[in-house]
Amino acid sequence: MADTKSPAPAAAVTATPSTGAAAATGGGSSFVGSVTWIAGNLDRGFADGKASRAEFHFPYGVTKVKLPKKSAAAATAGGGGGAAPTEEEDVLLIADGNNNRIRAVHIKDNLVSTFAGTGKEGNTNGPATTEATFKCPNAVSIDTSAPADQPSVLVSESRGHCIRRITLPTLKAAGGAVTATVSHVAGQLGIKGYGDGSVSQAQFSAPCGILTQSSTGKIFVADSGNNRIRVILPSKEPADPSKRSVATVVGNGIAMNVDGKVSTSLTGLGGGGGVAALWTPRYLCWETKLTADNPEPERSFYISCTHAIRRFDTVTGQLTTVPLSKALDPYVSLFFFFILLNLIALCYPVL
């Protein structure tokens, strides 16, 4: 059996729009893409090293970042030894849910290493590889509002019920040791619930997708267990991130897919309540195509829900369900494809 399986199950997807017969049936551009193996050996477990031999256990969110390049030995060891790095490399950061770690795929060297998390389940902050612990990290997303000299990624935790931040190392700060640091952003660590307020008092229930609005610093969170979209608002004192607060954007807590409009009185965002409802929102994606109803970047975003893809306009407060014709748009189709991959992964234990 081991001789016949593909060497690596984690997939990378590229897509380009094209026209043709398929485009005519969809009323627009068709979706053309390719799927290639990146890392993993089809066995559930934990192992760093060569990408074809590495093991994951329920990998979820993925994002691409640039990090100081370590030697191959230091990368696979997960440490910061060796000479100071002088160049950067492209790295995929993967939320490896049941391994309670953030894994790194070093694309050029075809290696997998542990970027953050000791593997022990918990909510400990601190140095990423030696002290920090997670409870089923689910999504990992670049914080586009972070200062250029302090790049970071945000991590949601399905069982930790909170949002964490990993400050990324840079060439300027790397010195002789490449390190990253994990800190708390919002939610009561390990406590499931629902409540708005300060970041230390607010509660989430199995948060998943994360999306940052770079122009405002607002962080949107798909609070799947609460059937709501929440937002982490910027601090009025930028030097003190603990002064940030959490509010409900849209969703009344009922697990249904119901369109509607919410009030935009809450600092330009919805305040929840009303008839607008979401059924287990999981992942978020900005609408990148500028149109008459989306005239500016980072205004509307898509939400994957149970049995539906929804769209929310942060200016008008309108929540709608994406029609099938729109789903045939190549970029929205890519979003659908990632959701399909996630559903396949969830079915894996029964195969």
Task: Report if residue 125 sits inside a domain.
Answer: yes
- Over range 75-87, report the average pLDDT: 63
Are 114 and 220 in the same domain?
no
**Most confident segment among 77-91, 246-260, 325-339:** 246-260
Task: Report if residue 235 sits inside a domain.
Answer: yes
Residue 332 has pLDDT above 80, yes or no: no
Q: Which residues span the domain enclosing 287?
A: 211-351
334 vs 217, residue with greater confidence:
217
Encode pLDDT of 165-193 as tens digits: 999 988 776 554 457 999 999 999 999 99
pLDDT given for residue 178 in this prediction: 53
Residue 9 has pLDDT above 70, yes or no: no
Are 149 and 251 in the same domain?
no
Task: Report if residue 132 sits inside a domain.
Answer: yes
Encode pLDDT of 191-233 as tens digits: 999 999 999 999 999 999 999 999 999 999 999 999 999 999 9
pLDDT given for residue 237 in this prediction: 82
Query: Average pLDDT over the chain, rounded to whole?
Result: 82
- Over range 9-25, report the average pLDDT: 42
pLDDT given for residue 149 in this prediction: 80
Are 348 and 270 in the same domain?
yes
What does the H/E/C string look like for the chain? CCCCCCCCCEEEEEEEEECCHHHHHHCCCEEEEEEEEEECCCCECCECEECCCCEECCEEEEEEEEEECCCHHHHHHCCCCCCCCCCEEEEEEEEEHHHCEEEEEECCCCEEEEEECCCCECCCCEECCCCCCECCEEEEEECCCCCCCCCEEEEEECCCCEEEEEECCCHHHHCCCCCCEEEEEECCCCCECCECEECCCCEECCEEEEEEECCCCEEEEEEHHHCEEEEEECCCCCCCHHHCEEEEEECCCCCCCECEECCCCECCECCCCCCCECCCCCCEEECCCCECCECCCCCEEEEEECCEEEEEECCCCEEEECCHHHHCCHHHHHHHHHHHHHHHHHHHHHC
Are 288 and 339 in the same domain?
yes
Are 258 and 351 in the same domain?
yes
Residue 42 has pLDDT above 80, yes or no: yes
Confidence (pTM): 0.83
